Amino acid sequence: MSSAPYVTTNATDPTDTQSKRASFQSAFRRRWKTTRGENRAWIMDLAKPWATERIVSDTRNQFRRRAERNVLDQESATAIRRGRHWTGTYIRTAYQKGLELARSDLRAYSEFDALTEQEIRQATTIENDRHQQRLAAEYEKVYYKIEDHIGSATAAVTTVAREAIENDNSRSWFANEANRAIRSSVTSRWKSTANTAVVRAVNEALLTSFELADVTSVIAAIEQSTTEPASETTTNAHPVSLTNRTVTVNSAGEVEWGTAGDDRVCSVCQALEGRVLKIKDIRQNGHLQPPIHPNCRCRLVPLPMDLVKDDKVLEVPQKFLDATGLSDMQTKA
């Protein structure tokens, strides 16, 4: 790091969404549990001897229908964008949390760069068209993630069905292995989806609010890591340099970082520590916007230009840290 002062932006649960993430995960857990129970009951009622292709096809179709009913709970495109899907409640609540944090942050920011209470309110009202557009996009992202989860689980169940028929396994074996395959294929995915969707909604609310308030620069409040730094797994794509780290970005513009699988690992975000980020650059290169890896729990904080010199963070007054609720962030020589 530079010898100039910089901010160590390690913080405890910067988005303050632990209960929201846990609630979202519980909803996923219940829906998948119901699906596994129905899948088991259906398999145990199957008649032998098996008719290979018919049973494989029926297993695949029956499972997909149940998963789509219980987990996806299909809705029209219009209903999804309006937040009427069952996941909408969790996304909207997270977005509202982001707006709450944005109001607090912008009040702290206004001590340095003139910003009235009316302007803060206008920038952080959920009825604003920009917020409504961003919120609709967040609703869609989660819905289509669930479709991907169901596709993976369906493929796993189909593989087990074929093995059960070919080896003339018992119904119990078939049911147990099918449900084990479901858990294996989707559990980590829905946990990551719940965590990431909540944090992404919070940060989208923050970033949009900052844009509406004409803030130009931010820093990342980084979740404190409770583990050793995770190894980084790169895939094909374009390398992106972040200080002393290199990550890759897939064709969709998403950063692909491997973590240890622990939802408390945010050590891969340390590359952003003390770094001044321009909002226009974040919008052009979305990989700089938290969450920047699965289960990331970092968030953005508006940075008054009085605290920036040569794109480095100068000493930040304790008053600012206290006002943003991030007083465990420290200025370091």
Q: Which two tokens stand for residue 158?
A: 């189909």
Q: Which of 188, 128, 161, 149 is closest to 70 using CA atoms?
A: 149
The pLDDT confidence band at residue 222, using thresholds 50, 70 and 90, is confident
Instruction: Give 266's contacts (C-beta < 8 A, 6+ positions apart).
Output: 222, 223, 224, 225, 296, 297, 298
Determine the pLDDT at residue 224.
66
Encode pLDDT of 148-177 as tens digits: 999 999 999 999 999 999 999 999 999 999
Classify residue 231 by burial, with Cβ atoms within 10 Å: 0-12, 13-18, 19+: exposed
Q: Kindly tell me if the per-residue pLDDT of 223 is higher than 80.
A: no
Determine the pLDDT at residue 326.
64
Determine the pLDDT at residue 263.
43
> How far is it, in rounded angstroms, from Cα 149 to Cα 160?
17
Please count the residues of the chain: 333
What residues form DSSP beta bridges with 218? 277, 302
Encode pLDDT of 16-46 as tens digits: 899 999 999 999 999 999 999 999 999 999 9
> How far is it, in rounded angstroms, from Cα 97 to Cα 17?
8
Q: What are the CA-CA distances from residue 57 to residues 61, 62, 84, 158, 178 (Å)?
A: 6, 8, 32, 8, 14
User: pTM here?
Assistant: 0.82
**Range with the poorest average pLDDT among 5-14, 54-63, 103-112, 243-252:** 243-252
Q: In this structure, is the dihedral angle defined by the CA atoms of residues 20, 24, 25 and 27, taken in order, positive or negative?
A: positive
Q: Kindly tell me if the per-residue pLDDT of 318 is higher than 50.
A: yes
Rounded to a whole number of angstroms, the CA Rg of the chain reads 23
